[in-house]
Structures are given as structure tokens and as C-alpha cells.
């Protein structure tokens, strides 16, 4: 049974290496880090404590330092507003993108001289220059305690870094409790 799980994981990793190089590189790095932590972390626990600053090191009377807990994010489905924004982006439709934004984000863009019409003009210019999208990958999301959430994407595109040049960029969407996009990084 364990061999089947290992075999399946290897198949998934190999498939990701072939089809999604950026995603696979991140997953591979995380996997190697996790394996390194498990192998090195359990056999040499003092290594972690000795690298902590003096203020968090165990006291002289033997009180252990507070351990750092690493958690994985719970599975998350992107809110409709983010899907709408992505759809607007890949179809060069500023109206869809603008409608996905929270009023706070719209006010901030307007205060910096932005508008839905200016966004549409930039999208039209990019399309006329031959820009296109090859793919969008949702990496994952993380809900915050204040009700906001972060959503991570990698976008494969062409023609933005130069005529016909393929590149990949990442987006981090901050979505408010109302499901609308507050910020895009």
C-alpha cells in the first residue's frame, strides 16, 4: 500500500515537472524541505533551538522555548470575484475585472488616476500588440483571521515582455469578507 502511494506521488511530481514547471519547482522545493526537516529535524532537535535568538532560547533552569508550529493551508476554492477578474484578464475585458474589485480598491485606483476606461485602453493596446495568455494556475489560498483571504496564482502569458516572448508572473489577490478583491500584488 505504501509503495502505491509513493509511486502515485512520483507520477504526479513527474507530470507536474513536464506540464507546470513553475508549480512543480515550488512543490519540489517544499517537498525536499519537508523531507529535510523530517530527516534532520527529528534526529537533531537541538539544531533548531541552537539557531534561535537568545531571547527565545531555553532558559538556564530548563524551561523549553515555545515551538513554532508549521501548518498547511486548508483547501480553498477561489471566490467568484477572483474567477471573474481572471476571466476578464484573459479575455481583455476591463468591465469584468473592474466589477470584481471591492469599492475600497476601486477608490484607491481612482485616486491614482485609474478608471475602467483607462484599464480597457491598456488591455486593448496589449491585445493589439499581440499579447495573449497561455494558462492560469491557482496555487492555493489561505484564510486570514480577520475574514480576508490570500489567493495565489501563476499566469503564463505571451507578448507582455516583448513581441512573442513567453513569461510567467504571479498574482496574490487579497479578498475581503464580502468576496470582492481588495488588493492585487
Residues of the chain with pLDDT under 50: 28, 32, 34-35, 39, 42-59
CA distance 44 to 39: 9
CB atoms within 10 A of CB 17: 14
Could you tell me the pTM of the whole model? Answer: 0.62
Q: CATH number of 80-184: 3.40.50.11900, 3.40.50.970, 3.40.50.720, 3.10.450.50?
A: 3.10.450.50
CA distance 48 to 56: 11
Task: Say what the pLDDT of residue 132 is.
Answer: 95
The burial of 158, by beta-carbon neighbours within 10 Å (0-12 exposed, 13-18 middle, 19 or more buried), is given as middle
For 21-56, letters b (16+ CB in 10 Å) and e give eebbeebeeeeeeeeeeeeeeeeeeeeeeeeeeeee
For residue 33, the surrounding DSSP H or E stretch is: helix 21-43
CA distance 71 to 52: 20
Task: Say what the pLDDT of residue 59 is.
Answer: 47
Task: Say what the pLDDT of residue 52 is.
Answer: 42
Task: Say what the pLDDT of residue 130 is.
Answer: 94
Q: Domain map of the chain by residue range?
A: 2-56, 80-184
* Cell (9 digits) for 30: 517544499
CA distance 118 to 136: 24
Amino acid at each position: 500500500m505504501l509503495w502505491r502511494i509513493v509511486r502515485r506521488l512520483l507520477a504526479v511530481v513527474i507530470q507536474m515537472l513536464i506540464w507546470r514547471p513553475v508549480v512543480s519547482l515550488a512543490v519540489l522545493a517544499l517537498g525536499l524541505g519537508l523531507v529535510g526537516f523530517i530527516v534532520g529535524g527529528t534526529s537533531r532537535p537541538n539544531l533548531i533551538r541552537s539557531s534561535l535568538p537568545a531571547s527565545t532560547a531555553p532558559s538556564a533552569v530548563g524551561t523549553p522555548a515555545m515551538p513554532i508550529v508549521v501548518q498547511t493551508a486548508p483547501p480553498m476554492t477561489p471566490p467568484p470575484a477572483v474567477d471573474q477578474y481572471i476571466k476578464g484578464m484573459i479575455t481583455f475585458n476591463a468591465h469584468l475585472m473592474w466589477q470584481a474589485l471591492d469599492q475600497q480598491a476601486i477608490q484607491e485606483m481612482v485616486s491614482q488616476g485609474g478608471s475602467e476606461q483607462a484599464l480597457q485602453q491598456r488591455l486593448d493596446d496589449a491585445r493589439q500588440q499581440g499579447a495573449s495568455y497561455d494558462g492560469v494556475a491557482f496555487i492555493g489560498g489561505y484564510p486570514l483571521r480577520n475574514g480576508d483571504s490570500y489567493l495565489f496564482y501563476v499566469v503564463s502569458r505571451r507578448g507582455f515582455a516583448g513581441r512573442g516572448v513567453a513569461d510567467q508572473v504571479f498574482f496574490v489577490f487579497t479578498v475581503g469578507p464580502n468576496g470582492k478583491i481588495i488588493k492585487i500584488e
